[in-house]
Amino acid sequence: MKIIILAAGMGTRLGNSLPKTMTTLANNKTILENQIDNLKTFYDIHDIMVVVGYKKEIIMEAHPELLYVYNEKFNCTNTAYSLLLALEKVKQEDALWLNGDVFFDASLVQNVKKENRSLVFVNSEKVGKEEIKYKTNRVGMITAISKTIDSGLGEAIGINYITGFDLPLLKQGLKKCGDKDYFEKGIEIAISNDLKIFPFNIQSQFCTEIDFKEDLSKVNKYILSQEHSTG
């Protein structure tokens, strides 16, 4: 299984000059370092591929052990384009991908392959107005996923899994996206072409995207609380 981290963007909303994924947290690790440590607990570090763009040298010098894909159009494209660049390197293989600003518990990605179906990781306890939301049909399959959905069942959290069997459909969907589209648009297009993808509820496990300083504060409080409980 290949693992893709999307880290090409500038992340200006946090107000620093570094790529967002290089933001240092309360445990003195960067967001990316946390992701790598959690992923390599269960998967081979040599299967991790990072899509870089903005100030790519900072990321690449910090983690020379990883594989890299360069999005040279990082300043005018979105995650659909970045994901497609990486998936073009994946041939008939399962793939797990995540946004470069997601903080999550390691156990969240431990058993993903046991599901044996394509997944969107979701939090059914939250439905933020500006977040990616989803709807399902009677058998629980996702039928729509976007920011514009009314009465969504929950939020997508920025972690996703595609089986090797479904990979061609996702690639086709991403190829039909515009430069400014999020990868969820590619998922929706693939669904219209018979992709079967299901929500994977994180339940009580901690996971959040760090978009704003409030999110960063929430993550740091969680880290400190975990260190206190185990210390």
Distance CA 87, CA 84 (A): 5
Structural domains of the chain ordered from first start: 2-230 (3.90.550.10)
What mean pLDDT comes out for the span 135-160?
94
Q: What is the pLDDT at residue 230? A: 62
231 pLDDT above the threshold of 80: no
| Long-range pairs, 130-137, Cβ under 8 A, ≥24 | 131/155, 131/156, 132/156, 132/182, 132/184, 134/199, 136/198, 136/199
What mean pLDDT comes out for the span 109-120?
89
Distance CA 182, CA 166 (A): 19
Model pTM?
A: 0.95
97 pLDDT above the threshold of 80: yes
Q: Give the pLDDT confidence of 12-34 residue by residue, as tens digits.
A: 777 788 999 999 999 999 999 99
113 pLDDT above the threshold of 60: yes
Distance CA 186, CA 83 (A): 10
Candidate from 21-30, 95-104, 108-117 with smallest mean pLDDT: 108-117
Distance CA 196, CA 136 (A): 11
- Residues 202, 123 contacting (CB under 8 angstroms): yes
| b/e 129-142 (16+ beta carbons within 10 angstroms → b) | eebbbbbbeeeebb
Q: What is the pLDDT at residue 143? A: 97
Query: 150: burial class by Cβ within 10 Å (0-12, 13-18, 19+)?
Result: exposed
What mean pLDDT comes out for the span 159-175?
97
Q: Give the pLDDT confidence of 34-89 residue by residue, as tens digits.
A: 999 999 999 999 999 999 999 999 999 999 999 999 999 999 999 999 999 999 99
Q: What is the pLDDT at residue 8? A: 96
What confidence category does residue 220 fall into, taking pLDDT thresholds of 50, 70 and 90?
Answer: very high
What the block records as the tokens of 12 is: 């200006």
* Arithmetic mean of pLDDT over the chain: 93
What the block records as the tokens of 169 is: 């459909």
Beta bridge partners of 207: 104
